Amino acid sequence: MIKVSFEELQEKLKVENGSIVLVKFGAPWCAPCKVYEPVLHSYAQAHPEYFVLESYIDEDIDAAKKYGVHGLPTTIVFVNGSEKKRKVGSLSAKALDELLVV
């Protein structure tokens, strides 16, 4: 999983056009984010076919505003640079599998 800034996220969505990009929006102080983090790290390692990114809303408020992030953690799946699905809250590996069926 790669931590990205708002600008890097925008570039990654352009560069990886045609690929599935999963972005977790969170914050270092967010308890559910801390629970979710190892699940997402393991998932990213097990599924190199997906680009798994992380954005901290405190550091990149522009990203939170642009994507309408109101609860943490929020996971958004992008395909061809467009949002396809989103879930709020910590997810299990099974829930990630279901989310990534686009």
CATH architecture of the domain with range 2-99: 3-Layer(aba) Sandwich (3.40)
In this structure, how many other beta carbons lie within 10 angstroms of the beta carbon of residue 7? 11
| Nearest C-alpha neighbor of 23 from the set 7, 42, 4 | 4
Known catalytic residues are: 30, 33
Residues in Cβ contact with 64 at an 8 Å cutoff, skipping those fewer than 6 apart: 25, 55, 57
| Nearest C-alpha neighbor of 20 from the set 49, 46, 41 | 49
At 55-94, the pLDDT tens digits run 999 998 989 999 999 999 999 999 988 999 999 999 999 9
**Total-model pTM:** 0.92
At 1-53, the pLDDT tens digits run 788 888 888 888 876 567 899 999 999 999 999 999 999 999 999 999 899 99
Please compute Rg for the chain using Cα positions: 12
Q: List Cα–Cα distances, 22 to 17, 31, 41, 79, in angstroms.
A: 13, 20, 12, 9
Read off the amino acid at residue 11.
E
